[in-house]
Amino acid sequence: MNWIKEIGQHKVQGWSQYGEEGYLRFILRNIGIKSKFLVDIGANNGTYLSNTKQFRNEGWKAILIDGQAFPGVHQHYVSAENVNEILKRYQCPQEFDLLSIDVDGQDYWILRELLREFRPRLIISEYNSEFADSRAVEYDPDFIFKATDHYGYTFEAGLKLADEFGYRVIFQNSNLNMYYLQKDEMEDPEMEINVPHPQHDWWRLNNNGQSDKQGKWVMI
């Protein structure tokens, strides 16, 4: 599994924001592609800053979901209560190759519920690098992102989520996305993996250095 240490060398600046499709392609090359099926929750229009556009160009089957209306994208405001119902409605297989999730808020709770019924082999999920502890925004199905540091979940919370459902976090890019891999895909599921994840002020820098004091959190 030495290839895990090399993921960061495979950035490809295509459709994605920071070369994510290159990292994903490299991981999939090493674990093998099985279903050529992906799910993209928070897909926007399917093109803009897309982690999955390149794979779909190559013939992958996909379920694209977003809260806004776009051609070819299923319009749903996804919550922990409805995520699995939505995937079943569009005949998502229980196990599939790739899940991309970026909903600017309730990502932790939606992902946690999804993993109760579905088994993506590889997951890319946005996380919140503004805090160094283990937290997620308090669950609110009507949550609206307000361009502050109150959103999503932290790296440490993601590590615990991965462990709960049989995954390892193998990489992060740009202090923005975590990459989860099923332990079943690893020769040594308990191998030591060091993923640096420095705290980074994405939104406080745009808010005069201030944290959103009104935001409610759950410590994980």
Is-contact 115 85, C-beta < 8 A? no
Q: What is the pLDDT of residue 158?
A: 98
Cβ-contact 202, 151 below 8 angstroms: no
User: Residue 137: its pLDDT value, please?
Assistant: 98
Please say whether the beta carbons of 151 and 136 come within 8 A.
no
Strands 177-182, 119-126: pairing kind = antiparallel
**Contact predicate 52/38, CB 8 Å:** yes
The pLDDT value given to residue 205: 84
Query: How many domains are there within the chain?
Result: 1
> Which residues make Cβ contacts (< 8 Å) with residue 194, sequence separation at least 6?
none
220 residues of the chain, pLDDT tens digit each:
899 999 999 999 899 999 999 999 999 999 999 999 999 999 999 999 999 999 999 999 999 999 999 999 999 999 999 999 999 999 999 999 999 999 999 999 999 999 999 999 999 999 999 999 999 999 999 999 999 999 999 999 999 999 999 999 999 999 999 999 999 999 999 999 999 999 998 888 888 888 999 999 999 9
- What domain range includes position 36? 2-219
Q: What is the pLDDT of residue 207?
A: 84
pLDDT at 202: 84
State the CATH number of the domain containing residue 103. Answer: 3.40.50
Note the pLDDT of residue 157: 98
What is the pLDDT, as a whole number, of residue 208? Answer: 83
Residue indicated by tokens 């939104």: 203
